[in-house]
Amino acid sequence: MTNTVAEPVEQWWDGPWYRVRTPRFQASFLPTEGEPLDAVCNIDVEVRLTADGSRWSATVFTLGEVERLMEKGARTGEDLDGRYSWCSDGIIVRDPGIDNITQVLTGLLDDGDFAQVLQRLNDE
């Protein structure tokens, strides 16, 4: 990924959604109520590209959150006693926070990997 830093044009709350608009996309995040936005480590996001209006989705986890989920599985017996973790549209990031995730999304667009990493949603 390049070292491009996304500069959001606009950020705002819209009901339970936290929305971030950049020149190339609008990302809609669904944080847990009361969770600090710079500490988000497990979140669903829908991205609408400005160029063509297409919609994409992902569930974003930090490395620490994946470890926490696997440790939980080891305690509860889920996921073969925590020996694996998966998500059909998952992205693992190193650092938490909405701003970091926005930068990752921008980097995926810059590098041409966006369509391979996120899941396209039907526009019906």
Q: What is the mean pLDDT of residues 77-91?
A: 92
Spans of all domains in the chain: 10-62+88-121
What's the whole-model pTM score?
0.88
Nearest residue to 91 (alpha-carbon basis) of 123, 65, 124, 122: 65
- Summarize pLDDT for 87-98 with one digit per residue, the tens: 888 999 999 999
Rama region for 111: left / alpha / beta (φ>0; ψ in -120 to 50; rest) = alpha
Provide the 8-state DSSP code for 31.
P
Whether the pLDDT of residue 1 is over 80: the answer is: no
60's tokens: 């974003």
- Summarize pLDDT for 12-62 with one digit per residue, the tens: 999 999 999 999 999 999 999 899 999 999 999 999 999 999 999 999 999
